[in-house]
Structure 1
Amino acid sequence: MKLASKPLVLAAIFCGIATTATAKEYRGWNTHPPDYPVSVALDRFSELVAERTDNRITLTNYHSAQLGEGEFATEQLQFGALDYGIFSTAPMVNTVKELGVASLPYVFKSPEHQFRVMEGEVGADIATAMNEANMVPLSWFASGSRSFYANEPLNTVEDIAGLKFRVQNSDINVAMVEALGANATPLPFGEVFTALQSGVVDGAENNWPSYESTRHFEVAKYYILDEHTIVPEGIIFAKTTWDTFSAEDQETIRTAAQEAAIYQRELWAAREAESRKIVEEAGSIIVAVDDKTPFSDAMQPVYEQFASDPVIADLLKRIQATD
């Protein structure tokens, strides 16, 4: 048997090395436009990973829901068709019941309280449950508190009753709106402006930057600061993708994700202030809520329905005990 010449052997070896070292591209989903704080921070995350792996791992972000709307993208992540992305946990509640506790109205005292919970022992237990659904959370971004807005005046909890509100496709969100006497209409995020404009819905609920960046304030200028939910949102990988990385690469990616989260929170604070100024100058009517008791009291049926499970009840108790 004739042996290959030494140059050919070396060429084969170097070819193998080159193949091994070739960068692999991973696709990341994001619903927000490129200049949004979430998007800017997600791009920073990709840059950090590329730098620290010598471009061996390429994380390509597709902003503005280019890879599909939220519910579809969430399903794709669960099935491993997407590698990672920035996801709100609200649409995942129907898949990971433990996430339901984080979507309960008024469960978090503030965004800072939410971070302490999600980055602590409670968050670790929730992450374990997410792993079983093929999801690995790496860091948590600021997503602001969500409040109601509509195309007619909202001054009290009574004004919400009877209106049609767009909500994320989550049983808890539907129950929350119905507990206030309103009609819940789950719709993809990208369809909300047209739905408001055409009267399919009377209002929606979201944070300052989303209310402003989507131009929803142009068709729904009444905004009441009830701040009912502070829903976790962060960088989440498909576990099937995550498990392909070495332990060293996992640590590199996780660290980059956490650094990106700190950066995003700084951007978010500035964007919230800017967004509020924009909508106020455009004529939006902002109503502060000094006493949220009427809102929280109306949520008792929601707690009875979604916090009766022993697992959820225990998580809720631990969240309430977290300073």
Structure 2
Amino acid sequence: MSMMRSIAARFAIATALAGIATVAFAQETILRSSDTHPAGYPTVAAVEYFGELVKERTDGRYAVEVYHSAQLGEEKDTIEQVRSGVIDLNRVSMAPFNGIVKETIVPALPYIFRSEAHMHAVMDGAVGDQIKAAFEPHGLVVLAYYDAGARSFYNSKKPIETVADMQGLKFRVIQSDIFVDMVAALGANATPMPYGEVYSAIETGVIDGAENNFPSYDTARHSEVATYYSLDEHTILPEVFVMSKAAWDKLTPEDQEIFQQAADESVVRQRELWAAKAEESRKTVEAAGAKINEVDKQGFIDAMGPVYDKHVTDPVLKKMVEDVKAVK
């Protein structure tokens, strides 16, 4: 009986150790996700929420580590890392993909969207699906489109009320030809520059300002060095949450469904967080002394003809532009 008990005890210990090993092994599949924004930012929080859902629904077989604040590099660098599979997941603005996935040119066009509600309807529909499909040949799978609000110009010199006020000013823009050409069409000078370098560039006078949404203007502290924020709202540019196709293809169909559902639910969370953050940030920068003004928006819209003429020459893109305009 003693020997039988000993064998049983050893079997129980072995079984327990095997269970521990299984759990440990399950926890080893950790996916790294990059974001340039700081902790607590709506996109960072949304991807963290996505990770929580994935971990829960895969019983711990997958976990997501979110590296915020450009810890893994600025957006241009991390795009290449996720395409090659070095990074598994990435939350990036749509614009840096313009030179890689031509279909991303359309949502980056100035004044293509009439409102945030219009942008949601477009990106949640057939045009959004068309853009998603266009990413896959480039080693990327689109999991979600996130809100980034309307982008407007801000600077350290003066309020901008008309296109004439843009003359000669130097603005940082996203590393995108569309943004460079948009600024040129308004009579200003564009300087493509990584997001993390903008504060010091404005502070030292290398540039006069930049363009972005209220939460970025607030959290990157650009409002401290560029106090004039002018509501031209030239783009309502969605952000994209992508996964390396190499990592995606390793998932079972069941896990792919879990990941996609978690991403869909993270969109709902992100939109709620975004709306709250945008309102909060506007109040924060106003209280700190930022001067916010309306602009003659029609003048800005009228100046965009050359940008469309240059960037919307492909028949596919021309059709997409018409499809976007037709969405109610």
* TM class by smaller structure: over 0.9
Q: CA deviation at 1:13?
A: 9.0
**Normalising by the residue count of structure 2, what TM-score does the alignment of the two structures yield?**
0.92
Query: Does the CA-based 8 Å contact 1:23-1:55 persist in structure 2?
Result: no
Q: How do 1:62-81 residues align onto structure 2 when only pairs under 5 Å count?
A: 62-81=67-86
**Normalising by the residue count of structure 1, what TM-score does the alignment of the two structures yield?**
0.93
Work out which of the residue numbers 290, 298, 308 in structure 2 matches 1:293. 298
Higher mean alpha-carbon deviation, 73-82 vs 185-194, is at: 73-82
| Equivalent residue letter for 1:261 | V
**SS at 1:132 equivalent:** helix
Work out which of the residue numbers 231, 234, 243 in structure 1 matches 2:240. 234
Matched, 1:220 2:201: no
Q: How do 1:1-323 residues align onto structure 2 when only pairs under 5 Å count?
A: 21-153=26-158, 154-289=160-295, 291-323=296-328
**SS at 1:240 equivalent:** helix
Aligned CA RMSD, in angstroms, stands at 2.0
**SS at 1:265 equivalent:** helix
| Equivalent residue letter for 2:245 | K
Higher mean alpha-carbon deviation, 218-227 vs 232-241, is at: 232-241
Give, in whole Å, the separation in 2 of the partners of 1:85 and 1:17: 29
Q: CA deviation at 1:234?
A: 2.8
Give, in whole Å, the separation in 1 of the partners of 2:297 and 2:36: 30
Give, in whole Å, the separation in 2 of the partners of 1:288 and 1:146: 13
Q: Which aligned runs of 4 or more in structure 1 are off by greater than 3 angstroms?
A: 9-23
Higher mean alpha-carbon deviation, 120-129 vs 9-18, is at: 9-18
Q: CA deviation at 1:244?
A: 0.8
Give, in whole Å, the separation in 2 of the partners of 1:96 and 1:37: 25
Larger of the two Rg values belongs to structure: 2
1:205-229 CA distances to partner (integer Å, 9 max, x unpaired)? 0000000111101100001100000
Give, in whole Å, the separation in 1 of the partners of 2:27 and 2:45: 26
Query: Does the CA-based 8 Å contact 2:178-2:311 persist in structure 1?
Result: yes
Give, in whole Å, the separation in 2 of the partners of 1:236 and 1:205: 24
Specify the alignment match of 1:3 in structure 2.
none
For these two proteins, the number of residue pairs brought into alignment is 316
Identity of matched residues, %: 48
Instruction: Show structure 2 runs of 5+ residues with no match.
Output: 1-10
Instruction: Show structure 1 runs of 5+ residues with no match.
Output: 1-5
Query: Does the CA-based 8 Å contact 1:31-1:64 persist in structure 2?
Result: yes
